[in-house]
């Protein structure tokens, strides 16, 4: 992402594992646009609003976790990217024999225009455009 980002972009990443966070900080020490934070993903809201937010490991609403509140995190016109979904094969979507509440949250969110993109035969991502 950093290599493709505009020279004026600010890139934030958060890692809860201190060792991994430190390694990432060392890796990007030469790039002043990149800020690696050690902590829980929820702490990243301090840097909001975002134009692009890639959720990987929190905020999606999977399991017992509630999805993040997009209005607190996103700039109108911003894009949320969420990975690690299994491809949807029917409507309404289900996962493990249960309704897929996380996916439904994003696909039916009143301030989002979201879709699922199959990225491999057994993997899908959700892309959500935040309308504000």
Tell me the three state secondary structure of residue 20.
helix
Residue 62 CA to residue 72 CA, distance in Å, equals: 19
CB 88 within 8 A of CB 102: no
pLDDT for 57 equals 80
Q: What is the pTM of this model?
A: 0.90
pLDDT for 73 equals 97
CB 101 within 8 A of CB 50: no
Per residue of the chain (132 residues), what is the pLDDT tens digit? 899 999 999 999 999 999 999 999 999 999 999 999 999 999 999 999 999 999 988 899 998 899 999 999 999 999 999 999 999 999 999 988 899 999 999 999 999 999 999 999 999 999 999 999
């Amino acid at each position: 992402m950093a290599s493709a980002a505009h020279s004026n972009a600010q890139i934030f990443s958060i890692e809860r594992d201190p060792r991994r966070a430190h390694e990432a900080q060392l890796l990007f020490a030469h790039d002043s646009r990149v800020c690696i934070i050690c902590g829980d993903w929820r702490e990243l809201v301090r840097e909001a609003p975002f134009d692009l937010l890639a959720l990987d490991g929190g905020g999606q609403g999977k399991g017992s976790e509630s999805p993040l509140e997009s209005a607190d995190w996103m700039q109108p016109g911003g894009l949320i990217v969420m990975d690690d979904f299994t491809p949807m094969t029917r409507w309404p979507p289900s996962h493990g024999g249960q309704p897929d509440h996380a996916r439904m949250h994003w696909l039916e969110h009143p301030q989002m225009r979201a879709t699922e993109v199959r990225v491999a035969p057994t993997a899908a991502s959700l892309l959500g455009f935040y309308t504000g």
